[in-house]
């Protein structure tokens, strides 16, 4: 079995080497890039299964690297930064990052997040395209259809493009109509590990969903003050 490949992008050589050491112990293959330009080259050469991307890079910064990678591929990206402000996290997630970790971080948590993101990606691609799934995971409401089997959303008759975690969050809420979930519960369900970061992650994804899927007279994504969110239905 081929090892999964992790591209580590960080201009601090000591940190990059330390991360590489942790990942190699978990049987990952690693490659290190010290700046944004080299990172973009290695995306094509090394063909990583996941990118660990520092934001503060010389030349092309991490935000720009994320944008360019996202324009051409859906490689999972975990951003690494000493910036812990909510604005920085929100910006990173809105650019398409799958996760955001603030330095310094625990090595075990980093490995757990890497494995969780890769596990989600494997789940999405493990069913052969020429084999029809015996059970289609989908949920439908007036003017809205969410299909988790092929990761598609149709809203008002048109297909809506969204990253996997947005779709998974929408599907989970819509599969449990009128049931309230806290942010922590949603993090556990969608991100699949004991999330130790900012629950603002859920708020960002809800915001992005609302920009693409507007409230209907029969259903809506509702905020439950001081608790979390629910998919509210009128029938």
pLDDT tens by residue, 90-102: 777 777 788 888 8
Q: In this structure, what are the phi and psi dihedrals at residue 111, rounded to the nearest 5 degrees? A: -60, -40
Kindly give the residue spans of alpha helices, DSSP state H, lying in the chain. Answer: 13-25, 36-45, 62-72, 86-94, 107-125, 164-174, 183-191, 200-212
pLDDT for position 18: 93
Q: Give the C-alpha separation, 90 to 100, whole Å.
A: 9
Q: Spell out the long-range contacts of 221-226 with Cβ–Cβ below 8 A and sequence spacing 24 or more.
A: 221/170, 221/173, 224/180
What mean pLDDT comes out for the span 75-81?
Answer: 89
**Tokens 């409401």, residue located:** 141
Angular region, 64: left φ>0, alpha ψ -120 to 50, beta rest: alpha
CB 116 within 8 A of CB 192: yes
Q: What is the pLDDT of residues 16-56, one digit of tens each?
A: 999 999 999 999 999 999 999 999 999 999 999 999 999 88
Band (pLDDT 50/70/90 cuts) for residue 126 is: low
CB atoms within 10 A of CB 233: 15
Q: How many CA atoms lie within 13 A of 106 on its CB side?
A: 7
Q: Which of 187, 186, 205 is nearest to 196 (CA)?
A: 187
Q: In this structure, what are the phi and psi dihedrals at residue 187, rounded to the nearest 5 degrees? A: -60, -45
Of 117-121, 163-167, 196-200, where does mean pLDDT reach its minimum? 196-200
Q: What is the pLDDT of residues 195-232, one digit of tens each?
A: 545 677 888 889 989 999 998 999 999 999 888 999 99
**Structural domains of the chain, ranges and CATH numbers in brackets:** 5-125 (3.40.50.2300), 138-233 (1.10.10.10)
Q: Give the C-alpha separation, 231 to 222, whole Å.
A: 6
Q: In this structure, what are the phi and psi dihedrals at residue 106, rounded to the nearest 5 degrees? A: -80, 135
Q: Give the C-alpha separation, 179 to 65, whole Å.
A: 39
pLDDT for position 81: 84
* 192 vs 161, more confident: 161
pLDDT for position 232: 95
Band (pLDDT 50/70/90 cuts) for residue 5 is: very high
* 115 vs 119, more confident: 115
pLDDT for position 130: 40
CB atoms within 10 A of CB 186: 22
Q: Indicate the pTM of the whole model.
A: 0.64
Chain-wide mean pLDDT for the chain? Answer: 85
Percent of the residues in the chain that have a pLDDT greater than 90, as a whole number: 49
Q: Is 164 helix (H, G, I), strand (E, B) or coil?
A: helix
* 220 vs 119, more confident: 220
């Amino acid at each position: 079995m081929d090892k999964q490949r992790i591209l580590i992008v960080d201009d601090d050589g000591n940190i990059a080497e330390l991360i590489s050491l942790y990942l190699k112990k978990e049987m990952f293959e690693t490659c290190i890039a010290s700046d944004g330009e080299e990172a973009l080259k290695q995306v094509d050469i090394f063909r990583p299964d996941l990118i660990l991307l520092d934001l503060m890079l010389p030349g092309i910064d991490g935000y720009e690297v994320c944008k360019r990678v996202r324009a051409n591929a859906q490689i999972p990206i975990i951003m690494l930064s000493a910036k812990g402000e909510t604005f920085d996290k929100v910006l990173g997630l809105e650019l398409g990052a799958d996760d955001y970790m603030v330095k310094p971080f625990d090595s075990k948590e980093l490995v757990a997040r890497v494995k969780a993101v890769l596990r989600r990606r494997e789940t999405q691609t493990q069913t052969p395209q020429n084999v029809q799934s015996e059970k289609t995971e989908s949920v439908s409401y007036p003017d809205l259809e969410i299909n988790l089997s092929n990761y598609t959303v149709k809203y008002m008759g048109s297909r809506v493009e969204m990253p996997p975690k947005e779709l998974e969050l929408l599907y989970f809420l819509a599969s449990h109509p009128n049931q309230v979930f806290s942010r922590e519960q949603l993090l556990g369900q969608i991100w699949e590990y004991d999330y130790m970061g900012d629950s603002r992650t859920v708020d960002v994804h809800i915001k992005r969903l609302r920009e693409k899927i507007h409230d209907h007279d029969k259903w809506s994504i509702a905020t439950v003050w001081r608790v979390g969110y629910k998919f509210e239905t009128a029938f």
